[in-house]
Every structure is written in C-alpha cells, then in structure tokens.
Structure 1
Amino acid sequence: MSAEVSSVVDLVGDLAGKYRRTESSGNTVDPAIADADLAALHRDGYVVLENLLSPDELRAIRTDVEPLLDRTGRNNFEGHATQRIYSVLNKTRSCDRVVEHPRVLALLDRLLMPNYLLSMLQVINIRPGESAQMLHTDDGFYPLPRPRQALSAATIWAIDDFTADNGATEIVPGSQEWGNRLPIDTEERIPVVMPAGSCVFFLGTLWHGGGANRSPNPRLALTAQYCEPWLRPQEAFTLSTPHEIVRTVSEDIRRMLGYSIHPPFIGQVNGMHPKRLLETGEGDYRG
C-alpha cells in the first residue's frame, strides 16, 4: 500500500513502513528521577549514578573480562600501563546491562535525538604506576566549533571502587560550556570517587581524563559512549558485530548498534530498514 508524502519530515521509518521506533527501557524510570539527573548534567556537565549494578553483575563482568586483559596501550593516550578490550559485545553478554541500563537510557532519551547510537564500548583496566591521562573531550573529533550542544554522551562504570589514588576518572566541572579555551596544567582535575557498581555520566563536551594510579591495585572499569543518530560512531558495529549476536541482544542494544533509521534515510540498506538483514540472514538483499 503506497502513501504520498509532502516533505521528507513525513517519513518516520523505512520506506516500506514495516518498522516503527519503539520506546527504550528508559521510560521505566521515574520521570522525576530522570529529570533531576538531567538538571545536574546540564549544570555540571556530569552526574554520578550510584549503585546501579548488583554484586552478582559485577562478579559476572569481572569473571568474563579479566581473562581477556592481555595487552597494554599503544601510546600515552591509551596508557602504557593500561589494558583495554575492544569489541566487547562480541566477547561477553555480561556487559550488556551497562550499555542498556534504564537510568542511562532515560538520560539519553532526553539528551539526544531518537535512535541515538552506541559509539563505543570498551573495558579499561588502569594498572598501578599509570600516569594521568591527558584531558580530552569525547566528541572533540567532530569538527564543529564550540561552545555548542553536546553531540555525544559517555558513561564510565566502576567495576572496582573509584578512589582518588587508583585512577578514578577526573573531570573539570563546567568545562562543557567552554568555547576554544583549553585546560591548563593548573586546572583543577576533580576525581570522580564512587563505589563499584556506579557510573559517571557526562556530556561529550566535558573535559576529562583517566587519573594516575598511585595505589598497589588495578582499577577496572567499562565505558559506553553514545552519539546522535546522524553521526558516524567511533566503532563500526554493523561491520564488527555478527548477525547471530545482533539477533541475541535486546531491542535497545540492537537499535543502538545501527539497526535503526534516522528519518528519513540515514542507516538504510538498499533502500530499506537494516533489520531486514536479520530476517534474510544474508549480507545483501534486493528487498
């Protein structure tokens, strides 16, 4: 059945109209809580969400990722004493909860456009002796002048307690509002101290960096980063994630991997919704 449209803004899904956007699990969060989180985020550039993961969830993440920590960073930004795991979704399901936690999605639903994307999921283990990471912004690689609205947001999840001495993420509150100003050596870096199972959620325009680990123990964390649906993510999930895994994850994660449409056309495959690939089981189709 065909339908006429007078403008591209009338096109809210794929051209065949088969798939409609579904609400995220963020709509299960009390709106008063989500709105308070958003107010803190806009005021400071970040908000700490405490005790979102249970001891069992933390234990499962640690059990799955620790055997995969087999290499250190390639430069001083990655950290020569820091271990990282990429393509996490291909290696364990225990981290899915981090990506799609309703408290996080409730913020993203208010901050970014519908069908926002997962840009990066990474495990970061800062080992003893690591120096402080250079301060940076997570959407600084998008070449649009500041000050501006954030194009992305990030979470960093504490699998170990974050302390002032073990490499807790350090932030510069209010720096999301800066224009061309850059942090200087005397700029106060504030460590985000929080218990294991918590996360810090911050805007992509906030200056931040990993702290120095002056403790005798490593500091394990995950970061999940998100971006507007019309931007190119850091990680090409539609290439790196096999279809059998995409079929296994939740609808929230599937949508954030890029199996969604930013109306009217962004993300389409052969003129149709990318979910059709999951139906055919093929890497190409004629529709």
Structure 2
Amino acid sequence: MLRFTPDTVDPDKIAHELMHGKGAVLLSGLFSDAQIAEARQIIHHHSAEVDKVTHFQGQAEEDGALHLQRRVWNLLAKGDVFANMAAHPVIMQVLRKFLGTEFIMGSIAANRILPGGPGQEPHIDYPYWDMYKAETHPIGLNASFPMNAQVSILLDPFTEETGATAYMPGSQKELRYPTEADDFYGKCERMLGEPGDVALFFGAAWHCAMPNTSQIDRSAVLINYAPKWLTPIEEMHNALPDGFLDTASDDLRQLLGLNYPHPQAFDEAEAQNTIGRK
C-alpha cells in the first residue's frame, strides 16, 4: 500500500489510488499515543463481557469462537476521542476529494479480535455488502463512482500474526462479490501497520479480517463514510448524549448529516419557505 504522512498527503493521488490503483492506502502520524490509549481503554471496557458480543457480517461462527471477535457500536456516545478521530482534518481533506465536499459518516464502531479469534469471509462493505442479492440493486450498478470509504484506525499492531486485514488489490474496479475461483487468499495483500496508523480503503475492494494467531488483541476503530445522499447504516443521533450537538464542530455536524435537508415534509417547508435551506 502507498503510505502517506500529514506532510505528504496528496488528496488527488490518494483518490486515484482508491479508484484506479490498489484500492487502499495507509496514513501515518494522525493520532497521538494518548488518543490511541484512550480509545483502546474505552473499547476494552465496553467489550469486556461476552454478553456484549455482536455478530457481524462475514464473521466465522464455527467452533464456538464468536466471543473472540467483538464489536462496540455508537462510539460517538462513548468518548470525545472518537469524534476527534472521525473528523480529523487530514481524513476530512482526503474524503472531500473522494466522496464530495459534503460527505457524511455512515457508522463508527470498534472491532476487537482477541487471541485465537477467527477471521471473516472476503466481502465488500455497505452499501455494497449484499451485492450477492443482485436483484435487490438497480440494473447496471457499478463502481464507476464511490458510494463508500472505509477508515480503520489501528489501536494495536496489525501484523500477519494478529490478523491484519487482507484485501485484493484492484478488486474495487469490478463491483461484485469474490468467488472461490478468484483465489482471494492466494492473491491478497495485508493492511499492515502500527497503533495510530490509518488504513483508508474503498469498501468495494474485497477484504476480510484474518485469524489472530498471536497472543495479543487486534483492535481498531472502524468508520464508514458515504456521499451526503446515502442512508447511514448506523442510527447515531438518538444515542448521542444531551448537549452533544450544541458543541459539535462544523465538520462533525456535516458527518452527522445535519447539513443535508432531506428527507423533509415539503408541505410544511413550503409554508415556511425553507425548502432546500440548510
């Protein structure tokens, strides 16, 4: 994967790589050790008990291993550090080029894979994640423009042993699910990195978590971004603490879709002469 630092970030080059290159890049140096430690502590706190485990797409279910792979949702309500991560200026700068200047956030969650945790089946991410049901999508749907960007903020080392995310370079160019004939595991590469690094990729690229064969956790903050008109996958507003929006930055309000006026009741909007206003 191409690697960038805050000083070398080139939104045009990154957007081209996401669309027409390998489909993924690595951003380094965006978050401090203190931010990573705080995020990790909060995620461990909220995923400490087995009864908090949530099944998610592509997760292996055999051998009773579900409790070794855990999700934590609604991160905006669990610590200011996550709002700062989601709206980091470098991430915003890059994604404004890739998804349009008024893009939104579809979800912000955490994935924690404990030692011995299983991997996933290769898949693609929302809104493409059920492309195996082709009849439910419009005819001619393709990857000529992006409706998704994925950000993984690494909280632990992503190595071969810890199960660093695998992906098939270039697979984002053809919008479909991988098949056995594609030999994903024989041709994939890994999103390797250190705590604080950010793996940014087009979610139409075939990818999956790999088994954690190490003796340490492999945790990450996972953020889904989308064009302003796409329905978010996670309903975040109702989980926000009181007063959250009163102090939210302009970028965070954009990510929560508050700048986009639709849907709305047009008869009421006409009466108030507010149709289309932000």
TM-score scaled by structure 1?
Answer: 0.77
| Structure 2 contact 123–177 (Cα < 8 Å) conserved | no
Instruction: Tell me the CA shift for residue 56 of structure 1.
Output: 1.4
The answer as to 2:161 corresponding to 1:165 is yes
| Structure 1 contact 117–256 (Cα < 8 Å) conserved | yes
Please say which of residues 226-235 and 51-60 is displaced more in the overlay: 51-60
1:100-132 CA-to-partner distances (Å, cap 9, x unmatched) read 112211121111133211101001111111222
Letter in 2 for 1:251: D
Letter in 1 for 2:170: G
- 2:26 corresponds, among 48, 57, 68, to 48
Partner residue of 1:252?
251
1: CA distance, partners of 2:56 / 2:208: 15
2: CA distance, partners of 1:251 / 1:183: 42
- 1:73 corresponds, among 46, 54, 72, to 54
Cα 1:155–1:75 change in 2 (3 A) is closer
Instruction: Tell me the CA shift for residue 54 of structure 1.
Output: 1.1
1: CA distance, partners of 2:236 / 2:78: 13
**Mapping for residues 1-287 of structure 1, pairs under 5 Å:** 33-42=10-19, 43-69=21-47, 70=49, 71-74=52-55, 77-78=58-59, 80=66, 81-138=68-125, 139-140=127-128, 141=130, 143-144=137-138, 145-180=141-176, 182-184=178-180, 186-187=183-184, 188-242=187-241, 244-261=243-260, 265-268=261-264, 271=269, 272=274
SS in 2 for 1:94: helix
2: CA distance, partners of 1:273 / 1:66: 45
Instruction: Tell me the CA shift for residue 154 of structure 1.
Output: 0.8
Cα 1:75–1:257 change in 2 (3 A) is closer
Letter in 2 for 1:215: S
Cα 1:32–1:224 change in 2 (3 A) is closer
2: CA distance, partners of 1:219 / 1:206: 21
**Aligned-pair identity (%):** 22
Letter in 2 for 1:133: Q
> Which sections of structure 2, spanning at least 5 residues, go unmatched?
1-5, 61-65, 132-136
Instruction: Tell me the CA shift for residue 268 of structure 1.
Output: 4.2
2: CA distance, partners of 1:38 / 1:75: 28
| Structure 1 contact 260–267 (Cα < 8 Å) conserved | no
Letter in 1 for 2:246: R
| Structure 1 contact 147–180 (Cα < 8 Å) conserved | no
Task: Say what the alpha-carbon RMSD is for the aligned residues.
Answer: 2.6
| Structure 1 contact 58–197 (Cα < 8 Å) conserved | yes
1: CA distance, partners of 2:276 / 2:106: 17
| Structure 2 contact 162–216 (Cα < 8 Å) conserved | yes
| Structure 2 contact 163–211 (Cα < 8 Å) conserved | yes
Please say which of residues 142-151 and 59-68 is displaced more in the overlay: 142-151
> Which sections of structure 1, spanning at least 5 residues, go unmatched?
1-28, 277-287
